[in-house]
Amino acid sequence: MAIRKRYNPHKVNKRIADVALTDLCVVWCNGNKDVVAFNYKTTKEILIGESTVMAMDRVRFNWLTYCAVFFREKNGKEKIKIAEVPAPYECFHHQLLDSLNEAHLNFVNEFDSIRDLICGVGWVAIPKDEFLSEETLDQLFRARGAFSYLAPWQEKEKA
């Protein structure tokens, strides 16, 4: 006679969340109040339902985050510098922001010598360990309005 495995609600919730969060990433850029969900394979914004929100709030994930700094050079050329920041532990979506803020500030402080060229910052968080190319990240950030603000040198010229 086979031994029956006991029902484990955490494992069931994890499996449901894995399906609900397939190809999903969360994107934020400065100037935007809200964090927006995107499908990172199509780089299109998606509306998330209650099941997806519950999956992010009730299940811990090993979040992989890409922090970015957006630059606009004096010749008008736009550039993005990206750093990969893995989560220190499995965490909920709302716990991610604590470790992310510190890592993002440290990353921005690396560019003190060219702070005059910075026109924005942003991040992309993925609940699964999936590598995203720089082109995909660029498309996600541009879709969220990454270069919609002026760099300090442009503000000085405008004034």
- At 1 the pLDDT is 60
Is position 3 within any domain? Answer: no
Average pLDDT rounded to a whole number, residues 92-113: 83
Domain that holds residue 50: 9-158
Nearest in space to 132 (alpha carbons), one of 78, 65, 87, 37: 65
* Unique residue bearing structure tokens 């927006």: 36
State the total domains in the chain.
1
Is position 59 within any domain? Answer: yes
Is position 4 within any domain? Answer: no
What stretches of the chain show up as alpha helix (H) in DSSP?
Answer: 9-20, 50-58, 93-109, 134-143, 152-158
Is position 1 within any domain? Answer: no
Amino acid type, 7: Y
Label residue 82 by pLDDT band (50, 70, 90): very high
* Per-residue pLDDT tens digits for 125-157: 998 878 899 999 999 998 888 888 777 777 777
